[in-house]
Structure 1
């Protein structure tokens, strides 16, 4: 199954246990927190970790995601009634006006096709008021993070809150034209599930060009979650802050 960790209920539970609150969430929460009671659009909200925290902080939040299983997990969490949940992709993005739009947890990289990426950015621009901000993360291809996605370095045990320990690992199957193809493995005892996925690694120049074309001005791009310059530190990120013009 493509992107099974978001679409298979068993693997959604693994994703939630494997991906707790982190420094990236701290960054985005702090950035949005600069605007009191902001209207926030969280595109690719997944199981709602950040959307729920933003709502608890007093913001008006809409969470949009194409994966029904992930949204069902989000809707079942405490405080979910404070968020407006919408199932679908860029085609269902509301027109706003929003103060902030987010794509976190490398959602931008799951948009592999260039034309679809342009449509996503255009839809996000329509959703934002002039002067509103777009915040997202994308891995720096110069960091070559996919070289660590192998059965040895990526192997880990995930402890579910009420269930078995799940063994997971990743195996890269192809790298071409800026797109990394890989398989995620999940072993539940004697039962193994697999999920196929692709991620697009865009350069900083590519990101800046697409944002400019879509009607955004890039304010800053960090290389990590502490505001490091690009290429400095171990995070290997492009953390983008752009303004709708």
Structure 2
């Protein structure tokens, strides 16, 4: 199944267990907190980890995601009543409704074609107030992170809340013009096997900047790591802060 870790309830639980709060969330929380508390959009909010953290910090948060199973998991978490959850995409966003928008966990890479990415950026511009900020992460292709997505380096065991242990690993199936296709494999303790497929787009800094310029954003900063290192000197990331 395409993106099954967000759509299949069994794999949503695995994803949630694999993805606790990290310094990546600290980065986004810090950037959002640099301005007075306002209206925050978390596009591609998934199971709600960052949205809930932002709401706990006093922001007015809307989490938007097309995957109903992920939103169901988010709504079941403590504090979920502080967040407005919307099952939908960027096309469903209201006009001038947010002061800042974030896309975390490399959501920007899910929009593989330039046309898809351009539409999302245009939707985000429409949803932000004049001067509103857009913050997102995307992997720097120069770091070639997909080379570690193989059965040996990616092999891991994930313990779920009920004690179930899931064995997981990843294999890359194609790398074409910056688009990396792969399959996640999962084996449960009862020997049930599930798979999730996806393709992610690795854009260069130049490509990211060009797309933002075309959409009407002004780029303020692009960092290479979670401690705001220069591109190429950090964690193999492109951490983008732009303004409408």
| Band the TM-score falls in, shorter-chain normalisation | over 0.9
Unaligned runs of 5+ in 1: none
Residue 51 of structure 2 aligns to a residue whose secondary structure is: helix
1:110 is aligned to 2:110: yes
The Cα shift of 1:163 comes to 3.4
Q: Which residue of 2 aligns with 1:32?
A: 32
The Cα shift of 1:97 comes to 2.7
Q: Which residue of 2 aligns with 1:165?
A: 165
Provide the rounded CA distance (Å) in 2 between the counterparts of 1:143 and 1:134: 24
Provide the rounded CA distance (Å) in 1 between the counterparts of 2:157 and 2:70: 21
Q: Which residue of 2 aligns with 1:135?
A: 135
Q: Which residue of 1 aligns with 2:63?
A: 63
Task: Within 5 Å, give how 1:186-201 maps onto structure 2.
Answer: 186-189=186-189, 190-201=191-202
Provide the rounded CA distance (Å) in 2 between the counterparts of 1:187 and 1:163: 14
Q: How does the TM-score come out when normalised to structure 2?
A: 0.98
1:172-207 CA-partner distances (Å, limit 9, x unpaired): 000001100000001102111001101000110000
- Which is further off, 145-154 or 88-97? 88-97
Provide the rounded CA distance (Å) in 1 between the counterparts of 2:79 and 2:26: 19
Residue 153 of structure 2 aligns to a residue whose secondary structure is: coil
Q: How does the TM-score come out when normalised to structure 1?
A: 0.98
Provide the rounded CA distance (Å) in 1 between the counterparts of 2:109 and 2:59: 26
The Cα shift of 1:96 comes to 3.1
Provide the rounded CA distance (Å) in 1 between the counterparts of 2:185 and 2:213: 38
Kindly report structure 1 stretches of 4+ aligned residues shifted beyond 3 Å: none
1:99 is aligned to 2:121: no
Q: Which residue of 2 aligns with 1:203?
A: 204
1:66-87 CA-partner distances (Å, limit 9, x unpaired): 0000000001111111111110
1:216 is aligned to 2:217: yes
- Which is further off, 32-41 or 118-127? 32-41
Unaligned runs of 5+ in 2: none
The Cα shift of 1:118 comes to 0.6
Provide the rounded CA distance (Å) in 2 between the counterparts of 1:94 and 1:145: 35
Provide the rounded CA distance (Å) in 2 between the counterparts of 1:19 and 1:97: 29
The Cα shift of 1:93 comes to 1.7
Residue 41 of structure 2 aligns to a residue whose secondary structure is: strand
Residue 105 of structure 1 aligns to a residue whose secondary structure is: coil
